[in-house]
Chain A
């Protein structure tokens, strides 16, 4: 009797969860679908991919996209090289500093990019740091913007594994720091590193403020320019960038599911 009632109860609850999910999906997908539909209306009266053709035909599209891609690769390399060892070091040696770093990760959200940009320009446009005309400064700015995302991903990955135990086990087996890093810690951080990587990509590819203020022909300013001057092409661009982001997320899922012993049960001891 009570059994049946419970089953009935979960049934109702299930229906409700589906309802909420449906509402969420509509809220999320409706604008996307509308944008997609709009992007297909480049030619009067018929649905066509003409807007997409225009986008791809514009040499500036590939040029700016290529530039932003380059910048994002550099940002990922510099960002991971700086932040991953730092995060590991903090977890292992100075866990007391964790709250301080957490606070630092908030700064890029609290300080608007425009302030960051002006700060960078002021400091780095005169000797001894006259590097405002170098793309390195842009990368440095991007690393700051991407820092919270990279740190949070790595931090979550480190928390999910028994870092101290694995470190000590590896050391007792004769491993030095490099072996420990490349054979034990990084392989177990794979999912975390991938999500850091793709988040950084997604942010840097579409970034506007820094690129505009430091005057670089990046993809973000290009999209903004398109949006001001054209109707259908920006919609097509939006859909394209959505597609790329989703592709990246799908890739994270696929790769992290690739090997056993990783992914959701990262570092799992039961």
Chain B
């Protein structure tokens, strides 16, 4: 049995069902992220693990023991909140010592543990500061140290980086991950930021509407999205409409141009399918088998990456290329050949969802 088991969790708030039959197994030492938009039930699920909410149905087991009737202060779970929730009346050191004092540890043991934690978060010289004298990033480090000081069975983080600015967010994210690895602590991390989830987790659970849409390693989630929702939610994606020419060889027609999907297709000749392509799977040089010709409609220079948007038929296709000082990007209006491997083709039934064009905001994050 897994270390943390959620089984058939349902949560109603009045007539609202927020979580609908969620099951999940987390192994010891694993880092699992709940990723989803607002209202998908990710925070509610985390709060049920923490004990702040009671599941309407289902069970939560930690290390073999049923948590259902255990109050939050007896669960021995470390929790980190979005708004830090440090005790404003206590210094950094006393904040970290809080849980240890409650656990009834000896003074000397508390002092050495506090020192150890301060070292872990590189804030030794801030021991006597008060929370309001610290920056947001520093406060969240202290909150992390406070949560870890008691050596909890698992660590729960509820959007811990959302209130911080971009640079600190990335640095603290890496710190959280390296601390988690060094302690080997089982961790559940709630976020709405896909880049955060992909970069930090062993496994990502993409959630929607109170259910897990797909759970898997970041590589898997990104490269083999299981549903059209996951496909469009994670990363940037160009969606084209393709007509089946030969299902046996996986040959498709896209705006009159022939490509191969590299596998047998379970579809009839002439059927309309969705063809999804990641921008980084395309390139301007001709080493790959497939090629689509299009007219450049937009070129976005993003620093290390240049994104070229070309129109193929009536759809837009995005391509990412690394910036190269000697290779200026193609001019708008010019014709380009976009090459990609057969394996890069994600083909799905067109009726799964309306052929989703990629939302613009996803562009910004990628």
Measured CB to CB, the closest approach of chain B to A193, in angstroms, equals 13
Measured CB to CB, the closest approach of chain A to B46, in angstroms, equals 11
User: CA–CA, A166 to B84, complex, Å?
Assistant: 9
Measured CB to CB, the closest approach of chain A to B320, in angstroms, equals 37
Query: Are B87 and A171 neighbours in the complex by a CB distance under 8 Å?
Result: no
Query: Are A269 and B76 neighbours in the complex by a CB distance under 8 Å?
Result: no
Q: How large is the interface on B (under 10, 10 to 19, 20 to 34, 35 or more residues)?
A: 35 or more
Query: Are A168 and B88 neighbours in the complex by a CB distance under 8 Å?
Result: no
Query: Are B88 and A173 neighbours in the complex by a CB distance under 8 Å?
Result: no
Does chain B have a CB within 8 A of A99? no
Binary interface encoding of chain B residues 127-139 relative to chain A, with 1 for a CB under 8 A from any of its CBs, else 0: 0001111001001
B residues in contact with A187, CB < 8 Å:
89
Query: Are A179 and B102 neighbours in the complex by a CB distance under 8 Å?
Result: yes
Contact partner of A174 (CB less than 8 A), chosen from B131, B143, B150, is B150
Query: Are B132 and A268 neighbours in the complex by a CB distance under 8 Å?
Result: yes
Query: Are B86 and A260 neighbours in the complex by a CB distance under 8 Å?
Result: no
Does chain B have a CB within 8 A of A53? no
A residues in contact with B103, CB < 8 Å:
174
Contacting B at CB under 8 A, from A148-186, are: 161-162, 165-166, 168-176, 179, 183-184
Does chain A have a CB within 8 A of B357? no
A residues in contact with B75, CB < 8 Å:
172
Contacting B at CB under 8 A, from A236-270, are: 259-262, 265-270
User: CA–CA, A184 to B81, complex, Å?
Assistant: 17
Binary interface encoding of chain B residues 60-88 relative to chain A, with 1 for a CB under 8 A from any of its CBs, else 0: 00000000000111111111010111111
Does chain B have a CB within 8 A of A188? yes
B residues in contact with A162, CB < 8 Å:
83, 85
Question: Across the two chains, which residue of chain A brings its CB closest to B71?
Answer: A171
Query: Are A260 and B147 neighbours in the complex by a CB distance under 8 Å?
Result: no
Does chain A have a CB within 8 A of B50? yes
B residues in contact with A171, CB < 8 Å:
51-52, 71-73
Does chain A have a CB within 8 A of B235? no
Measured CB to CB, the closest approach of chain B to A249, in angstroms, equals 23
Query: Are A188 and B76 neighbours in the complex by a CB distance under 8 Å?
Result: no
Which A residues contact B (CB, under 8 angstroms)? 161-162, 165-166, 168-176, 179, 183-184, 187-188, 190, 259-262, 265-270
